[in-house]
Each structure stands twice: as C-alpha cells, then as structure tokens.
Amino acid sequence: MTKMPITQPIMKANKITFEDTSIAFSNKSNLQLRKMYLIFASMNQNWLVKLGTFFIKLFIFLHFPIKKLIKSTVFEQFCGGETLLECNKAIENLDKAHIGTILDYSVEGEDNESSFDKTREEIAKTIEKAHNNTAIPFAVFKVTGIGSADLLEKVQSELPLTQDESLAFERVHQRMYELCQLAASLKVRIFVDAEESWIQDTIDALTYDMMDKFNHDDCIVYNTFQMYRKDMFDNLKEATQAAQEKGYLLGVKLVRGAYMEKERQRAHEGNYCEPVHENKQNTDRDFNLALEFAVANRQAISICVGTHNEYSCKYLADLMQQYEISPTDKHFYFAQLLGMSENISYNLANAGYNVAKYVPYGPVEAVMPYLFRRAAENTSVAGQASREFTLIKREMVRRKRAK
Ligand SMILES: Cc1cc2nc3c(=O)[nH]c(=O)nc-3n(C[C@H](O)[C@H](O)[C@H](O)COP(=O)(O)OP(=O)(O)OC[C@H]3O[C@@H](n4cnc5c(N)ncnc54)[C@H](O)[C@@H]3O)c2cc1C
C-alpha cells in the first residue's frame, strides 16, 4: 500500500490543477455565466435560501404558476430536463468537453407498487439509452425508488415479515434483478446509490447478490460506500475479500455521505452510538485511505469517486500517476453533480481523466426535493456556494480583461 501522506497537501505535484476557470466554464456563454453568478450569489445568502425554500414550497402547494421561473433558473442549473429527451442537450454539451452523463431519474415518487414499477421502467430506459453510447458511461438508481424504505428497514431489523411483505420484498429483488440483468446484457455499468444506515445493510445484501450474478466477467454493478460511516473502511475491505473469494469484481462508488444530520438525529433519538464519524477530518482520512486501498487492490476493484472535494480528486489523480495507471483506464472514474464543481470536472476531463456528471431529471415539481437539497448544500454555511461563486466571479473578470 502507498506510503504517501493522507492529510497533507500533495508534495509531488501532479500536473492537474482545478484553478483554470477558462477551462472550467469553457461551455458557458457570458449570459449563462451571469445567470450562474446570480444563482450562486443568492445561494450564498442563507436567509435567502431559507426564505426562498419556504415560499417555493408554499407556492407549489397553492399551485401558483412558478414552474417557468424555477425551470429557467435553479432547475436549468442543476437538472438535465423534465424528460429523457430533454436531457439530450445537456448530454451533448458535456460530451463536447469529454464528460460523460449519468442520467439520474430524481423523482421521489409515492411509496406504492405502481410507482415502484414506473420508476423501474424509467430506469430501464436510461440503461437502454446508455447502450453503445460513450457519452453515457453509467446508469444509476436508488433502491428506495423501486421498493418501500419501511420494508427495507424491517428486513434489516430481522423482524418477521408478513406474507404480503415477503412478496413485496421479493418484488424489490425482482425489479433490481431485471435492471441489473438489462444493464449486464447491454454492457452498461450501473451504480446502486447508498442511503440511510438503517436500510443500507438490506441494500448492500441485494447489491452483492447482483454483483455475484453479473460481475464475474466485467464490472457491471457498483455499490456505494459512504466514508462518513465509522465502519465503512472495514466494510470496503470485507467486501473486497468476499468478492475475491466468490470470484467477482467489486464495483465501488466512493462518497463521503449525504445523510449526516439525519443519521445523527436518529442516533440521538434512538439513544444509540452515531454511525457517522465525530468530525470531518476522520471522514476525510477514511475517504483517502479508501482511495489508497482501491488503487492498491485495482485487480479486484473498479472505482468511481463521487466527490466535489479538490484534495480527494487530486489525491486519486496523484495515486494513479504513482502507480502508472493511465488516466483513461476504464476502471477509474471521477464524478460530480451537474452544475457543481465545474472547475474539477472540466479540468480533470481536459487533463484526460474519465469524468462523468450525475444529470438529474424529472418533472419540475417532482425533483424539487432534490433541488432543495442542492440549495441547502450550497449555502455559505455548507461552504460550497462561496467556492462556486468565487470561481464564477474570477472567470467573469478574466473574460472582461481578455476583451
Ligand atoms: C457523483 C456523486 C454521487 C453521489 N452519490 C451518493 C450516494 O449514493 N449516497 C450518498 O449518501 N451520497 C452521495 N453523494 C453525496 C456525497 O455523499 C456528499 O454528500 C457530497 O458529495 C459532499 O461531499 P464531498 O466529498 O463532495 O465534499 P466535502 O465538502 O469535502 O465533504 C462534505 C461531506 O463531508 C462529510 N462531513 C461534513 N462534516 C462532517 C462532520 N462534522 N463529521 C463527519 N463527516 C462530515 C459529509 O459526508 C459531507 O457531505 C454523491 C455525490 C456525488 C458527487
């Protein structure tokens, strides 16, 4: 395993830099840049995000005609469109910069069987669209899109299921099987997103079952590892060992984790030990240890790092250089969300690395929860907006000077 420091800045400079705003915003017109500036400037004001979120929820509830306004602002910034067809423009734009698209059907539907079947059908369409399409390197889905979260939780708690629940769980398994089988038959790699810890064991068990079915010749199914969890580095090592014993390849999407507050609150209410690290440093340490582990075990693992953290991206690029892994090696991918951290995605792609963006799509009203989460993540408290905002400002100044 590598001996490089994991919490210090990289000393052996890799050529990759995320500072070049002319590359980061190369596909944005002046007008688009100005629009982005206004969106991130607004998000930089916590009070405005809180107030805006409240009023948008209220207006949607009252059926006020604000869809057009949302669609031409935040929706356009963070989503590909309302339908698969509408996403074509975003796919083409990203492809021009050699960035792949991961079509993410972001509708948080109702908790019933017909909604789960509908979501399964839509995800199947994204897999079909990715077939033989180099602009769409992965598909993705959430297990809670195709099955009830309450049921997944009950399975995890090992409480006896009623006959109806057993049948419903069999249907979740079947939907997942159909999606992974379709992906395998069309040679489309597919991510299973990670969710809350109280359902994640069930998701893991389903996902490893799929890997055992479809990952023997090629790495098709990827599980997601949330490194904010105290047990996750050990889980990664165990999953690698299990994959090697069973003779399949382990697909790893590495993230820090999106449900920290929810996890802490539930642990507090349930009076159990928080599964999430006490501090960010420990999450960062485990994330970077996991990168080292994945690179050192690359015969067994294919990895996609889903992060907006510049250090982690540089660190993986550096490790790849150290291990003489080609930037275009298909077992290594970087991924960010559409509309965020363009400086990372575009500069990595420009340097020849494999990069893809999650491109969420769905009817405006249905993707609003996703947009509210992006808004919260982008407040100045969370720190992301000011970073985006500074970069956009810098590019606007650069363009003015270049005239
Ligand atoms: C392509 C892509 C796919 C994703 N898929 C998933 C998914 O399937 N499941 C999922 O849960 N998330 C997913 N995420 C979201 C991800 O987990 C992070 O929430 C988000 O990317 C922010 O982390 P970061 O590494 O980008 O940035 P950073 O700003 O470096 O890290 C922020 C993250 O650090 C952790 N953190 C912050 N403060 C603390 C603290 N005090 N103690 C401990 N940890 C702390 C949290 O995880 C927080 O989200 C995905 C993100 C991307 C870009």
387 vs 391: CA distance, rounded Å: 6
By the 8 A CB rule, do 253 and 224 touch?
yes
Residues 6+ apart with CB under 8 A from 241: none
Q: How high is the pLDDT of residue 377? A: 66
Instruction: Tell me how far CA of residue 363 lies from CA of 169, 256, 339, 397, in angstroms.
Output: 28, 28, 18, 36
Closest residue to atom 30 of ligand 1, CA basis: 309
Each residue's pLDDT tens digit, 182-205: 999 999 999 999 999 999 999 999
CB 6 within 8 A of CB 285: yes
Going by alpha carbons, the residue nearest to atom 32 of ligand 1 is: 256
pLDDT band at 6 (very low <50, low <70, confident <90, very high): very low
pLDDT band at 387 (very low <50, low <70, confident <90, very high): confident
pLDDT of res. 335: 98
Position 372 confidence tier, pLDDT thresholds 50, 70, 90: confident
* Model confidence at 17: pLDDT above 60: yes
Distance between Cα 256 and ligand 1 center (Å)? 4
Mean pLDDT of all residues in 206-213 = 98
pLDDT at 345: 97
> Structure pTM?
0.92
Please give all residues whose beta carbon lies within 6 A of any atom in ligand 1, as ranges.
Answer: 193-194, 224, 226, 228, 255-260, 276-277, 279-280, 283, 306-309, 335-337, 358
Tell me which of 346 and 108 has the higher pLDDT: 346
Q: How confident is the model at residue 62 (pLDDT cuts 50, 70, 90)?
A: low
In whole angstroms, how far apart are CA 223 and each of 72, 141, 189? 34, 11, 11
What integer best gives the mean pLDDT of the chain?
90
**Contact call for residues 247 and 215 (beta carbons, < 8 A):** no
For residues 212-237, give the mean pLDDT: 98
Predicted confidence (pLDDT) per residue in 95-128, tens digit: 999 999 999 998 876 789 999 999 999 999 999 9
Average pLDDT over residues 266-285: 97
Question: Distance from the CA of 6 to the center of ligand 1, in angstroms?
Answer: 18
How large is the average pLDDT for residues 157-167? 97
pLDDT of residue 133: 98
Report the DSSP beta bridge partners of residue 277. Answer: none
- For Cα atoms 156, 225, 264, give the angle at the middle one, nearest 5 degrees: 65
Q: For the residues 152-168, what does the mean pLDDT come to?
A: 97
Q: 18-22, 36-40, 357-361 — which is least confidently predicted? A: 36-40
- Which range in 10-14, 211-215, 376-380 is most confidently predicted, on average pLDDT? 211-215
Looking at residue 217, its pLDDT comes to 96
Per-residue confidence (pLDDT) for residue 118, from 0 to 100: 95
For the ranges 281-290, 329-338, 355-364, 388-397, the lowest mean pLDDT is seen at 388-397
- Give the pLDDT confidence score for residue 178 in this predicted structure: 98
Give the Cα separation of 21 and 346 in Å (integer).
9
Q: For residue 2, name the pLDDT band (cuts at 50, 70, 90).
A: very low
Residue 308 CA, closest ligand 1 atom number = 26
Percent of residues, the chain, with pLDDT higher than 90:
75
Q: What is the pLDDT of residue 86?
A: 97
- Token pair for 190: 């597919």
Q: In the structure, what pLDDT confidence band is assigned to residue 47 with cuts at 50, 70 and 90?
A: low
Interval 249-261 mean pLDDT: 96
pLDDT tens per residue, range 304-335:
999 999 999 999 999 999 999 999 999 999 99
Give the helix/strand (H/E) hosting 139.
Answer: strand 138-141
**Choice among 105-114, 122-131, 242-251, 294-303 with the minimum mean pLDDT:** 105-114
- The whole-number pLDDT of residue 378 equals 62
**Residues 276, 282: Cα–Cα separation, whole Å:** 10
Residue 211 binned pLDDT confidence (cut-offs 50, 70, 90): very high
**Which protein residue's CA is at the shortest distance from atom 3 of ligand 1?**
306
- Ligand 1, from 18, 104, 106, 255: best to mutate by most atoms within 8 Å of Cβ? 255
34: phi then psi, degrees, rounded to nearest 5: -65, -40
